[in-house]
């Protein structure tokens, strides 16, 4: 008889020191993973990650990257127990002080927190990466196609002609080939305020708790910085964006002109991917809240496209891709029920 996920989870917990612990569900994310907070007297607080393999999840990348980051002295969650075959991990609970919540309560901390996040990012980037796949032009262009695969047809109500999709793909690839030059580093790919926790009792870069890094790949150093400063979920103050970009360049010795162009390119690709991804999450996966974040992502995209090296792609977007206004967001949400 096939066991349910609940039964498998209970069996996994029973195999650890946390057997009999209290479990409380935590808010999930855009993935198929689920989380429970696990509490038992006399033991450190823990989190149960439930990542069902039959739903395409795999906990092994998380454990690989978590151990790599911990070895660098960074604050990834400790792995207390694992059952990779069934998709369960019991990991360290790093608390509730997400950067997004901290800045909402204390806007004056934004600069301090983001500088600490950049310090932690630089530590991760300076280390030899673990064996992970490349996030190169091919991989980035494929994910950028979510714009024409999901956003554009549902925003306009019309199928996207093959020739238009091909033109868009060529423009994205040209941008990335020209501007994303230099050595690759580990990019965590979701390095933003909802995945970073403030741990003030720790020292240095370890004050930044790290989450949601299991999709890490080898990519351009500007990518995670763009993820951090051009956040899809919160507005980072413009002066903080400017100061933190300058801080990163000063700390790493990067060539300012080349890095700024690569930063604009990475952020552009990311925002194109996210707009399409939010449409897909709504239409395909029935998650209607994601399109509400499209206007912020669009504003970030328009800011990115001001860079003169991106003029050709800017012209294409201006001509063919409509702004996600209220009517278009409503149309995309309606498509989820069609």
CB neighbours of 282 closer than 8 A, spacing ≥ 6?
288, 290, 291, 332, 333, 335, 336
Q: Which of 25-34, 127-136, 161-170, 257-266 has the lowest mean pLDDT?
A: 25-34
Contact 171, 313 (CB under 8 A): yes
Contact 66, 79 (CB under 8 A): yes
| DSSP-derived 3-state class of residue 224 | helix
Q: Which two tokens stand for residue 103?
A: 């800045």
Question: Is residue 298 very low, low, confident or very high in pLDDT (cuts 50, 70, 90)?
Answer: very high
What one-character DSSP code corresponds to residue 151?
I
Q: How far apart are CA 3 and CA 137, in angstroms?
A: 42
Query: Which of 62, 191, 76 lies closest to 132 in space, CA to CA?
Result: 62
Model confidence at 338: pLDDT above 60: no
Alpha helices in the chain (DSSP H): 5-14, 60-71, 99-105, 110-126, 137-144, 146, 152-156, 162-179, 222-229, 238-252, 256-283, 294-304, 311-320, 326-335
12-67 pLDDT, tens per residue?
Answer: 999 999 999 999 998 766 568 899 999 999 999 999 999 999 989 999 999 999 99
303-317 pLDDT, tens per residue?
Answer: 999 999 999 999 999
CB neighbours of 262 closer than 8 A, spacing ≥ 6?
179, 180, 181, 182, 220, 221, 222
pLDDT at 209: 99
Q: How far apart are CA 79 and CA 63, in angstroms?
A: 7
DSSP assignment of 58-95 equals -SHHHHHHHHHHHHTT-BPPPEEEEETTTTEEEEE---
147-184 pLDDT, tens per residue?
Answer: 999 999 999 999 999 999 999 999 999 999 999 998 99
Question: pTM of the prediction?
Answer: 0.94
β-pairing verdict for 185-187 and 88-92? unpaired
pLDDT at 148: 99
Q: How far apart are CA 59 and CA 309, in angstroms?
A: 39
pLDDT at 249: 99
Q: Which domains does the chain have, with CATH numbers?
A: 5-92 (3.30.200.20), 99-335 (3.90.1200.10)
Is the torsion defined by CA of 307, 311, 312, 318 positive or negative? positive
pLDDT at 330: 97
Contact 213, 117 (CB under 8 A): no
CB neighbours of 338 closer than 8 A, spacing ≥ 6?
none
202-249 pLDDT, tens per residue?
Answer: 999 999 999 999 999 999 999 999 999 999 999 999 999 999 999 999
pLDDT at 27: 76
Q: Which two tokens stand for residue 316?
A: 């294409």
β-pairing verdict for 46-50 and 88-92? antiparallel
């Amino acid at each position: 008889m096939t066991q349910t996920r609940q039964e498998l989870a209970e069996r996994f917990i029973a195999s650890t020191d946390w057997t009999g612990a209290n479990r409380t569900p935590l808010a999930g994310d855009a993935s198929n993973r689920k989380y429970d907070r696990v509490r038992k007297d006399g033991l450190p607080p823990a989190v149960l990650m439930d990542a069902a393999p039959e739903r395409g999840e795999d906990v092994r990348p998380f454990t690989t990257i978590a151990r790599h980051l911990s070895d660098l002295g960074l604050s990834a969650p400790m792995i207390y127990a694992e059952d990779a075959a069934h998709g369960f991990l019991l990991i360290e609970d790093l608390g509730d002080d997400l950067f997004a919540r901290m800045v909402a309560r204390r806007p004056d901390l934004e600069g301090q927190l983001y500088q600490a996040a950049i310090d932690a990012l630089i530590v991760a980037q300076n280390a030899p990466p673990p064996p992970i796949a490349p996030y190169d032009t091919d991989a980035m262009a494929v994910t950028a196609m979510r714009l024409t695969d999901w956003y554009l047809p549902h925003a306009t109500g019309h199928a996207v002609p093959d020739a238009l999709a091909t033109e868009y793909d060529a423009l994205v690839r040209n941008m990335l080939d020209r501007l994303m030059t230099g050595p690759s580093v580990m990019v965590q790919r979701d390095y933003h305020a909802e995945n970073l926790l403030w741990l003030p009792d720790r020292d240095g870069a370890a004050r930044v708790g790290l989450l949601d890094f299991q999709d890490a790949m080898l990519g351009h150093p500007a990518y995670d910085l763009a993820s951090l400063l051009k956040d899809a979920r919160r507005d980072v103050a413009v002066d903080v964006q400017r100061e933190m970009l300058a801080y990163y360049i000063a700390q790493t010795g990067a060539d300012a002109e080349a890095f700024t162009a690569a930063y604009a390119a990475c952020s552009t690709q990311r925002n194109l991917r996210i707009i399409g991804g939010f449409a897909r999450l709504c239409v395909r996966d029935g998650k209607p809240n994601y399109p509400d974040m499209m206007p912020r992502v669009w504003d970030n995209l328009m800011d990115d496209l001001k860079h003169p090296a991106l003029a050709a792609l800017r012209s294409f977007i201006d001509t063919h891709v409509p702004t996600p206004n209220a009517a278009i967001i409503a149309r995309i949400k309606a498509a989820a029920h069609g």
